[in-house]
Amino acid sequence: MNWNDFDAALFDLDGVLTPTAELHQRAWFELFTEYLATHPSAPAYTQADYFAHVDGRPRYDGVAAMLASRGIELPWGTPADSLDADTVCGLGNRKNQQFEELLARDGILPYPGSLKLVEQLHAAGTKLAVVSSSRNAVEVLRIARIDHFFPVVVDGKVAEDDNVRGKPAPDMFLKAAARLGVEPARAVVLEDAVSGVQSGAAGDFGLVVGVDRGAGHQVLTQAGANLVVDDLEELL
């Protein structure tokens, strides 16, 4: 690809810039393994469930989608719900606490290939933004010491505060492009999640790059990726 054809790069965070997706997977696994144990007739949670129902979605939407896959309905609740509340938001809050504990204990570093690409694009003057469903995006960027590359961050908090639809709708990416002052056709979306690739494809962006961290090349291509790589260093 020729980066001179584009003015901006819009990066997902977890699984694209940093391996925080691994921490998220562990937190989701702990949450649903414990919760589904109280529903003996429901199939156990597996890694396939993460990619099918949770990956890339706003946290509460991921909870609702996962529960729906098991035929379980809960009240939605509110973001202020306690960690032991038997609601979608309560379960989502419990997962977030588990994630924050893992992040604080283990820390995080960017993928080496991703860092190389970001550094190259930054040096070339390409406008950069992070678009993440996570409400922890700003903190993750700070801990990974790459926050200074990204003047625009559209994350789960921004989406909630500004009433922006989450992935797979294209709205979060479109908002990031607007904040950078670039047309979608001049921006590249880089995503590892099926819902994120669908989001980029729905926004008519110049290019949608799928990063295969486990979803699979064919799955990401079918979701709308124009190009699929295993590591962002391939795009240098």
Residue 14: active-site member: yes
d(CA 217, CA 108): 26
Cα dist. 52→49, 69, 176, 223 in Å? 5, 10, 25, 12
**3-19+109-235 classified as CATH 3.40.50.1000:** yes
pLDDT of residue 214: 87
Residues of CATH 3.40.50.1000 domain(s) within the chain? 3-19+109-235
Contacts for 184 with CB less than 8 Å, ≥ 6 apart: 173, 174, 177, 203, 204, 205, 206
d(CA 88, CA 62): 9
Local structure of 145: helix, strand or coil? coil
Q: What is the pTM of this model?
A: 0.81
pLDDT of residue 1: 83
pLDDT of residue 134: 87
| φ and ψ at residue 127, rounded to 5 degrees | -75, 135
Which of these is catalytic: 7, 14, 55, 81?
Answer: 14
Q: Block means of pLDDT (10 residues each) for the chain, length 236 residues?
A: 95 94 89 95 93 89 96 96 97 94 90 98 98 92 96 95 94 98 98 95 97 94 98 96
Which of these is catalytic: 7, 12, 81, 192?
Answer: 12
Beta strands in the chain (DSSP E): 8-11, 127-131, 152-154, 187-191, 207-211, 227-229
Residue 12: active-site member: yes
